[in-house]
Amino acid sequence: MAIPVIAIVGRPNVGKSTLFNRLAGERIAVVSDIAGTTRDRVSADASWGDDRYILVDTAGIEGNSEDIFWPDMQSQVLKALDEADLLIFVTDTGYGLTDADRDAANLIRRYNKPVVLAANKADNVEREQQAVEAYELDLGDPIPISAYHNIGIGDLMDVVMDSVATDDDEEVGSDVRISIVGRPNVGKSALLNALTGEERALVSDIPGTTRDSIDSRYRYVNGDDESDLMFIDTAGLRRRGKTEQGIEKYSALRTIQAIERSHVSLIVLDASEMVTAQDLHVGGFASEASRGLVVVVNKWDLSRELKLTREEAEEEIRDRFKFLPNSSIVFTSALTGRGLDRLLKATVDTYAEWSKRVAAGDLTRVVIDALATHPPPRAGYKRVRLRKVAQTRTGPPTFTFHMANPDLIHFSYRRYLDNRLRDAFGFDGSPLRLRFVGGA
């Protein structure tokens, strides 16, 4: 996946270079009170959390500059606008909006790129309130920041990374990447073989025979639906105490890597042992990684012998895997082939939910309704006020709530909103990410 290019744009003197330095962590660009000091485009490799990106500073956009360097600077800016995946448009809350801001906004609008609006120099509360005037630019919600005093940068970058990730997702393409994870000997290799019909992975009674990841592709056709599936094979996750060294640790790492690389994780259990602590551990990884989750109870051909019913098995699973996001539970036998069609269907359906985007209007209605029915707690005069909610990403579905006093949203309220979103939109088998961003 290509690293996104993020360009900081706006009229001169709003604090673009200061923001650049703040984010790049190095004083590469020249900062000055003199308009247009940053003549050359400066760029840096930067990261926010785990996400890497390329940050580009630009000369100020100024429509009718007398500056003899302007044609040159302009071409640099236009080139940056062309190349960027996302633009951070900076305004100055201290000085207020100017015609130069409006001209610059009109220029960048033509590029049809995602824009995040940063109302800079919001060093104090009055300035922060001033940020609302930037709504006039019609570039979305202004996020008040102070590049100089390091205020609001986290909020800004959360929105930036969410918006830029959306674009990558759209390009992910048709492959559904699937990791098959679970303890040794539950039948992962046997399932892979049975699903893909190829003797790719070695099956054996000796735990841990399948040491290396072997990816294999498979085309799934169900009526009119066709999907390309890519199975990422993995060695089983070893018992915790043994994961310290050598091959054992290697395998655990493989499992985690496979989960990270996949869109949907199939957590495979052995019907004869059902849920063990180690299974919870593997499931926990997949859930933390926000992958789509399907639970597979394999060796179901033994169920009669084991005197185990589906209802009992389901109850145990829902009870032990607390984090399961309404996942499908599929009963399979890699030996007889039973349940494999259902497993493929559940996998493709889970992927669809994980990568689903809901209509903006429906989302707003559901959230407003949820807040009205059961308002979040107040703290004195402080109360949560929703400005806007948007689905800022798919895979996993991510929702960004712009609101006053987002710190009043606690764990239980988060879960309430999560449930309401699921009631309205489904998302079965997919974890959801909810982000709460403060703002004017």
Q: Beta strands 225-232 and 215-222: pairing type?
A: antiparallel
* Minimum gap (Å) between residue 271 Cβ and ligand GDP: 8
Task: Find the part of the chain contacting ligand GDP (CB under 6 A) among 70-78, 212-220, 299-307, 354-362.
Answer: 299-307
Judged by phi (left if over 0) then psi (alpha if -120 to 50, else beta), residue 280 lies in alpha
Q: Which is nearer to ligand GDP, 151 or 363 (CB)?
A: 151
Which one-letter DSSP state was computed for residue 302? G
Q: Which is nearer to ligand GDP, 179 or 189 (CB)?
A: 189
* Minimum gap (Å) between residue 366 Cβ and ligand GDP: 36
Contact 417, 366 (CB under 8 A): no
Among 4, 140, 144, 187, binds ligand GDP (CB under 6 A): 187
HEC secondary structure over 340-361: HHHHHHHHHHHHHHHCCCCCHH
- Residue 174, burial from CB neighbour count under 10 angstroms (0-12, 13-18, 19+): exposed
Contacts to ligand GDP from residues 83-122, by CB under 6 A: 94, 120-121
Tokens in use for 103?
């001209």
Instruction: Calculate Rg over the CA atoms of the chain.
Output: 26
Q: Which is nearer to ligand GDP, 95 or 111 (CB)?
A: 95
Which one-letter DSSP state was computed for residue 194? H
Please tell me the distance from the alpha carbon of residue 80 to that of residue 60, in angstroms, as a whole number. 12
Q: Does 391 bind ligand GDP (CB under 6 A)?
A: no
Q: Beta strands 51-57 and 42-48: pairing type?
A: antiparallel
Q: Which is nearer to ligand GDP, 1 or 206 (CB)?
A: 206
Q: Which is nearer to ligand GDP, 60 or 325 (CB)?
A: 60
At residue 190, the 3 state secondary structure works out as helix
Which string of DSSP letters, residue by residue, matches 18-49?
Answer: HHHHHHHSS--S---SSTT---S-EEEEEEET
Q: What share of the chain is helix, strand, coil (3-state, %, to 5)?
A: 40, 25, 40
Contacts to ligand GDP from residues 261-290, by CB under 6 A: none
* Minimum gap (Å) between residue 203 Cβ and ligand GDP: 5
Contact 24, 55 (CB under 8 A): yes
Among 51, 67, 103, 123, binds ligand GDP (CB under 6 A): 123
* Minimum gap (Å) between residue 183 Cβ and ligand GDP: 7
Contact 395, 172 (CB under 8 A): yes
Longest CA–CA separation in the chain, Å: 88
User: Across the chain, how many H-helices and E-strands are there?
Assistant: 13, 15
Among 289, 335, 358, 434, binds ligand GDP (CB under 6 A): 335
Q: Does 213 bind ligand GDP (CB under 6 A)?
A: no
Q: Does 18 bind ligand GDP (CB under 6 A)?
A: yes
Q: Does 371 bind ligand GDP (CB under 6 A)?
A: no
Please tell me the distance from the alpha carbon of residue 325 to that of residue 117, in angstroms, as a whole number. 34
Contact 437, 406 (CB under 8 A): yes
Q: Which is nearer to ligand GDP, 16 or 393 (CB)?
A: 16
Among 4, 7, 38, 62, binds ligand GDP (CB under 6 A): 38
Task: Find the part of the chain contacting ligand GDP (CB under 6 A) among 185-193, 255-263, 375-383, 421-429.
Answer: 185-193
Q: Does 152 bind ligand GDP (CB under 6 A)?
A: no
Q: Which is nearer to ligand GDP, 186 or 390 (CB)?
A: 186
Q: Does 14 bind ligand GDP (CB under 6 A)?
A: yes
Helix (H) or strand (E) holding 303: helix 303-306
Q: Does 66 bind ligand GDP (CB under 6 A)?
A: no
Q: Does 190 bind ligand GDP (CB under 6 A)?
A: yes
Among 77, 334, 366, 440, binds ligand GDP (CB under 6 A): 334
* Minimum gap (Å) between residue 29 Cβ and ligand GDP: 7
Q: Does 305 bind ligand GDP (CB under 6 A)?
A: no
Q: Where are the alpha helices (DSSP H) in 39-124?
A: 70-83, 99-109
Among 184, 283, 406, 439, binds ligand GDP (CB under 6 A): 184
Q: Where are the alpha helices (DSSP H) in 355-395?
A: 360-373
Query: What x/- string results for residues 236 through 255 when contact with ligand GDP is judged by CB under 6 A?
Result: x-------------------
Query: Binding-site residue total for ligand GDP (CB under 6 A)?
Result: 40
Q: Does 33 bind ligand GDP (CB under 6 A)?
A: yes
Residue numbers at the binding site for ligand GDP (CB under 6 A): 12-18, 31-33, 37-38, 60, 94, 120-121, 123, 146-149, 184-190, 203-205, 210, 236, 298-299, 301-302, 333-335
